[in-house]
Chains A and B, each alone.
Chain A
Amino acid sequence: MIADEMTPAVSFQKVARHFGAVKAVDALDLDIAAGEFFAMLGPSGSGKTTCLRLIAGFEQPTAGTISIFGERAEGVPPYRRNVNTVFQDYALFPHLNVLDNVAYGLMVKGIGKAERLKAAEEALALVQLPGYGARRPGQLSGGQRQRVALARALVNQPKVLLLDEPLGALDLKLRENMQEELKSLQKALGITFVFVTHDQGEALSMADRVAVFNEGRIMQVGSPQEIYQRPKTRFVADFVGSSNVLPPDFVQRYAGQRRWGSLRPEAIRITRETGSDAIQARVSGVSYLGAATRLALDTEGLRLHASVPSGTAVPEQGDAVAFTFNRDAIHLMDEAP
């Protein structure tokens, strides 16, 4: 009953959620440790949001068992789970002011007015919106609404906080600020955060561990470094970090093993000299990204992306170039050819 140190915050065992013939989540095993910042990363329709809704209790599994801090959660309605959600479009109540929105969870639990409004004020201060209580959600900017949604969830002191693409609707600058803030908030509060996103940069920069989803299954779980540097499958290499996926023939020539491989764009060096180990290529695209310039290189019927740091000479589109890379930089994937 009482969870010890090792009990996972959320545990999925053979969990499936089918909608008719569509297998949104299929035979999924997953353990999320208590106090960790966990990201679920994947393209839309990969089952990551369904997983979140299974934890929140909005969906019931078709098969399998879900435990939250060791307690079985199947058949338990959302209002009996000590789990709170920050919704994608915030879902603030339009007829209540900000303070009443934040105090809502305490109000329905029967906590007295003075006490719950005080707690709501504190939660608003925590998300750096002190004094905004009297406003209506409609009078707030997107970033402010996001903070109110966060305060409304955190004021209940949940065991697990679920965040469904919480930064999706914010512009870039705000998103970067919010990423850092969420991270430090999570560290300070020690609450388990489960975070759904389709943005690999966001997942890698914020999470302690990342699960990459595709077609209702988890392709790989690991630290951001593992996911980025040692993808197990072509899908993960492709989806996380824009790695070059190398076909088995190519890998055999340069790494000696007939396996699928991946090569990060920054591992490719453009050279002028046409030495024996240099590979000839033609530049088919140049994209300026600020800190670096991304080149598309056509070689041997393959398109590879290379990242050239700013400040170095950049070839133009159509130029014939040669490139090299350290043979050790090729990462061999588990996936069979």
Chain B
Amino acid sequence: MSIASVTATRDAPVSAILPARGGMLGALSDLFWRRPRFLLVLMLMPPLLWLGVVYIGSLLALLLQSFFSIDEFSGLINRQFTLKTYADLLQPANFDIIVRTVTMAALVTLASIAVAFPIAYYAARYAQGRWKALFYLAVMLPLWSSYLVKVYAWKLILAKEGILTWLLAKLHLLWLLDGWLALPYVGGNSLSVSATGTFIAFVYVWLPFMILPMQAALERVPGNLVEASSDLGASPGQTFRNVLFPLALPGIVAGSIFTFSLTLGDYIVPQIIGTSRLFIGQAVYSQQGTAGNIPLAAAFAVVPIVIMGFYLWGAKRMGAFDAL
């Protein structure tokens, strides 16, 4: 019938096994098929070499540097193993920098989670087709423009003559801003030279790194789990606490690794927007540059790595990766 006529019109193959394709590429294809591991090794070798030698290697070199010390008179590096540089980190001036940076990173992460969740939830649950494309565009678009441009834009927005002050004046809410700026730690002459300004700019620049993993995690939560929870008598709040949040936790942790570690290491945002008090990134920058104290810079740089290690360990103990 029709199947027979289809096969009849084509030249039927002569044998059950087709001849080899021939040539170098043909032989190579056959080899790769028989030895899939060979292809895997071939593909992974260059990136592994790059990661292993260039990246891990320089990290180890950094770690090594942090165990050296600087001769205070000559300014030369004393290549003798010592913990003196780490002891220097605990001096009040240096320790303040660490506490300030970690506090900022933690606050930025919490704020990012709070701002990102509704956006990610909408994108994962409701947005479809064109709206989903629009969501990705809106989240990614800020990443396409220069980081410096965005930070300077925020400096202008937050400045005393900026749009935010103007808007609050129009709304007769300037007293609120002045009251906030008069507070210790978070205040300053204007938002653009206050810790609050640094915080706002940080939340803005790292927000996409929180939204995207969170959205990916929420996307993997089947919609019927939310329905099942509701069906079993859970109010929307209970469903959020008992189903959505635990299942989105891997995404939240992944996002917070970004926002937390990026804030810990950044030295541009606090330099442009904020007070003259240093952050870890700025301390590294000035210690290895003008001060020429490479060991102390290295010891500072190790701090975020150690903190992130503890953070991941804590997240794992909390069961953040159980649902993966």
Contact = CB atoms under 8 A, between A and B. Distances in A.
Interface of A: 56-58, 77-79, 83-85, 87, 89, 91-95, 104-105, 107-109, 152-153, 156
A108 B234 contact: yes
B231 A56 contact: yes
Contacts of B247: 94-95
B228 A87 contact: yes
A85 B228 CA distance: 8
B64 interface: no
A79 B235 contact: yes
Contacts of B30: none
B224 A95 contact: no
A108 B228 contact: no
Contacts of A104: 229, 232, 234, 242
A105 B230 contact: no
B323 interface: yes
A59 B222 CA distance: 18
Given A104-B242, A108-B242, A91 B225 contact: yes
Interface in B212-232: 222, 224-225, 227-232
Contact of B233 (A58, A91, A93, A156): A156
Contacts of B228: 85, 87, 91-93
Interface in B111-152: none
A84 B229 contact: no
Contacts of A79: 230-235
23 contacts: A56-B227, A56-B231, A57-B231, A58-B227, A77-B230, A78-B227, A79-B230, A79-B231, A79-B234, A85-B227, A85-B228, A85-B231, A87-B224, A87-B227, A87-B228, A91-B222, A91-B225, A91-B228, A93-B228, A95-B247, A104-B229, A104-B234, A105-B232
Contacts of A107: 242
Contacts of B246: 95
A79 B228 CA distance: 10
B227 A93 contact: no
A122 to B, nearest CB: 17
B323 A156 contact: no
Contacts of B235: 79, 108
B322 interface: yes
Q: Give the contact-size bracket for chain B.
A: 10 to 19
Interface string B222-258: 1011011111111100100011001100000000000
Contacts of B224: 87, 89, 91
Contacts of A105: 232-233
Given A95-B322, A95-B323, A109 B227 contact: no
A156 B230 contact: no
Contacts of B222: 89, 91
Given A77-B230, A87-B227, 4 more contacts: A57-B230, A58-B230, A91-B224, A108-B235
Given A94-B247, A95-B322, A108-B238, A152 B232 contact: yes
A89 B222 CA distance: 10
Contacts of A89: 222, 224
Contacts of A78: 227, 230-231
A239 to B, nearest CB: 27
Nearest to A83: B231
A39 B227 CA distance: 22
A87 B246 CA distance: 21
A109 B225 contact: no
B17 to A, nearest CB: 35
Nearest to B220: A94
- Max chain A C-beta neighbours (<10 A), residue from B229, B230, B233, B247: B233
A89 B223 CA distance: 12
A40 B16 CA distance: 51
A93 B231 contact: no
- Max chain A C-beta neighbours (<10 A), residue from B224, B232, B238, B246: B232
A328 to B, nearest CB: 40
Closest A-B pairs by Cβ, 5 of them: A105-B232, A91-B228, A108-B234, A91-B224, A78-B230
B56 to A, nearest CB: 34
A84 B231 contact: yes
Contact of A109 (B230, B233, B322): B233
Contacts of B229: 93, 104, 108
A87 B322 CA distance: 24
A271 to B, nearest CB: 31
A235 B306 CA distance: 70
A139 B294 CA distance: 53
B233 A108 contact: yes
Given A104-B242, A108-B242, A93 B234 contact: no
A58 B232 CA distance: 12
Nearest to A102: B232
Nearest to B228: A91
B232 to A, nearest CB: 4
Nearest to A109: B233
Contacts of B242: 104, 107-108
Interface in B58-97: none
B117 to A, nearest CB: 18
Nearest to B235: A79
B249 to A, nearest CB: 9
A136 to B, nearest CB: 9
